[in-house]
């Protein structure tokens, strides 16, 4: 993905959210929300998600559901009008393949669904990351660590993000190479929403192993979801 393609991606997302702002000025009932997440083995969902769901439901007064990709059983929806929000940071196979399949399934169930861009492409989300990096740079050399990438579009997204943030990005399988240079004072930033066994092993000084463990990201996501029409 070249620079113009990235600009087009974020232009489209900006137009999406400008459309949301215009609609917020009209009087109508808000939609429910269905969040698509990866989940852990056998459909386990980290308790952080309970905090986010409860807060968003309280602020919107509408239902918030989960669609967990690792859940093997059929996941029904009790809503008729929903926002379908992919909680993924990169445009990998889940965004490009699984999400459209879920949307089509809901359509066949006669559920009116409006699909948002994946959360990692939202400008307001990236701005939270920008502010975090500014703080980190005051004391360490931050490195944004992601899971091993399988597609060029995901690699291009990380390249774009690294340029936007002004830091290095790398797969967490490469972290040992950074540890070989202690004078650089590298510090890992796990580019994942929720903790995984791998990110827990990165051993940040503050024990943070995912973005949603950080208050600014957690509150930021709650605010973004709460502001959907």
Determine the pLDDT at residue 1. Answer: 46
pLDDT at 194: 94
Res. 121: pLDDT tops 50:
yes
> In the CATH hierarchy, which fold is given to the domain comprising 3-120?
Rossmann fold (3.40.50)
Q: Quote the Cα angle for 47-52-55, to 5°.
A: 125
Looking at residue 207, its pLDDT comes to: 78
Instruction: Please report, for the chain, the start and end positions of each structural domain, with discontinuous segments joined by +.
Output: 3-120, 123-216
Q: What pTM does this model have?
A: 0.85
145-171 tens-digit pLDDT: 999 998 999 999 999 999 999 999 999
């Amino acid at each position: 993905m070249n620079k113009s393609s990235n600009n087009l991606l974020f232009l489209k997302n900006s137009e999406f959210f400008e459309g949301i702002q215009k609609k917020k000025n009209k009087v109508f009932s808000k939609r429910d929300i269905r969040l698509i997440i990866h989940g852990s083995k056998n459909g386990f969902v980290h308790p952080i998600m309970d905090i986010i769901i409860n807060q968003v439901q309280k602020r919107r007064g509408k239902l918030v559901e989960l669609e967990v990709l690792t859940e093997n059983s059929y996941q029904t929806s009790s809503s008729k009008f929903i926002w379908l929000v992919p909680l993924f940071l990169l445009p990998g196979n889940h965004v490009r393949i699984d999400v459209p399949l879920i949307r089509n399934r809901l359509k066949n169930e006669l559920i009116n669904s409006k699909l948002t861009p994946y959360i990692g492409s939202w400008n307001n989300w990236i701005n939270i990351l920008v502010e975090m990096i500014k703080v980190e740079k005051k004391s360490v050399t931050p490195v944004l660590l992601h899971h091993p990438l399988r597609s060029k579009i995901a690699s291009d997204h990380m390249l774009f993000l690294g340029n936007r943030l002004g830091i290095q990005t790398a797969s967490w399988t490469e972290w040992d190479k950074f540890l070989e240079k202690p004078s650089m004072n590298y510090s890992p930033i796990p580019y994942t929403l929720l903790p995984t066994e791998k990110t827990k092993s990165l051993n940040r000084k503050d024990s943070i192993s995912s973005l949603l463990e950080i208050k600014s990201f957690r509150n930021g996501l709650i605010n973004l979801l709460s502001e959907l029409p």
